[in-house]
Amino acid sequence: MKITKLTTYQVPPRWLFLKIETDEGIIGWGEPVIEGRAKTVEACVHELSQYLIGKDPARINDIWQTLYRGGFYRGGAIIMSAIAGIDQALWDIKGKTLGVPVYQLLGGLVRDQIKAYSWVGGDRPTDVISGIKKLQAIGFDTFKMNGCEEMGLLETSKGIDKAVALVASIRAEFGNSIEFGLDFHGRVNASMARVLIKELEIYRPLFIEEPVLAEQAEYYPELAKMTHIPLAAGERMFDRFEFKRVLQAGGISILQPDLSHAGGITECVKIAAMAESYDVSFAPHCPLGPIALAACLHVDFVSRNAVLQEQSMGIHYNQGAELLDYIINKEDFNMHGGRFLPPLKPGLGVEIDEALVIERSLNPQNWRNPIWRYPDGAIAEW
């Protein structure tokens, strides 16, 4: 079998799908994208296609290493996201060729289900109570929300109180009938993170995500020593070598690589195994589409230390399409009590509605994250 063609489709709300065709008619799908930089990743995918056309798609490891090491400059958000989508599609082809789900090729199941969580509240959290109640009605009991709006480098007591009041209102309303993580989203610098984490401890959030930016990872151990709240990070780390340094330094309790950013299934299986060796949990980042979610699930189901799976149903970014709109076999991704079951079909287990993908790709949305500024005009972290 040989790879014959790569086709990309940018579709609403902010996703990029990749179709890899072979001379035997077996097709694989992947989701290579950086939110807000879809066209850049798309260009990278096609640039890398010179290493794919005419190659045997079964040689996933060799192709992955060639894509990664074949250029003198390597790594980073764009290249690793391009590799990630290609890798997903190759595993899809291999599973379909052999007639089994990808997790069977990775050693088989270590669990029968994985708990999912859902976003509430948007970029600037509002209406969180009603949002949680709506999601409870369809079976969710675990949530994540942004922990604050833009946070000043020297934030006022009023700003700190506003962030804490939101969390206090959730515990007051729901007690411990739900669990929720708080995403600082890299909006908080190290000095303010110390203050905010201390104030939030009494409300016992499930975790605090990106307490500081990945570029400031040297603060993770220091912040971890001052709190009992588990710290999570990883959505803006792109290969096992970045994760290696974080694991060696300590401080992070939950690793959150993104299967569409961090080299795909091949790389993230290794990252999960590295995390297990440090007694660190694994919870893939996934505010994206159905192919990315399917890839995450296959890694979750072979990784003993996987604890939670993010999914994008109803997320505030989903303007123009929802999580399962582009797939035919929606029933395979139904949740049961807020949990996903293993995909049953060969490959990634996603049957793409290609006609709809083509139709929607004719008018894609050029999504960009907002630019936030402080009152003095200086740019703030979104």
Residues catalogued as catalytic: 185, 285
Q: Determine the distance from the C-alpha atom of residue 67 to the mean position of all C-alpha atoms in its chain, rounded to a whole number.
A: 22
Q: 152: how many CB neighbours lie within 10 A of its CB? A: 17
Angle, helix 264-277 to helix 290-300, in steps of 10 degrees: 40
| Cα dihedral value 120, 116, 341, 136, nearest 10 | -50
- Residue owning tokens 């997320």: 315
Distance (Å, whole) CA 42 – CA 33: 7
Distance (Å, whole) CA 320 – CA 172: 35
Q: Is 209 helix (H, G, I), strand (E, B) or coil?
A: strand
Distance (Å, whole) CA 282 – CA 13: 27
Q: Is the dihedral of CA 189, 194, 200, 204 positive or negative?
A: positive
Looking only at the bridges linking them, the beta strands covering 309-310 and 281-282 are unpaired
Element at 135 (helix H, strand E) = helix 128-136
Structure tokens at 124: 């600037």
Q: What is the DSSP string of 169-206?
A: HHHHHHTTSSEEEEE-TT-S-HHHHHHHHHHHGGG--S
Q: What residues contact 382, with CB distance under 8 A and at least 6 apart?
A: 123, 150, 185, 187, 369, 370, 371, 372
Q: Could you tell me which of 53, 103, 111 has the C-alpha nearest to residue 265? A: 103
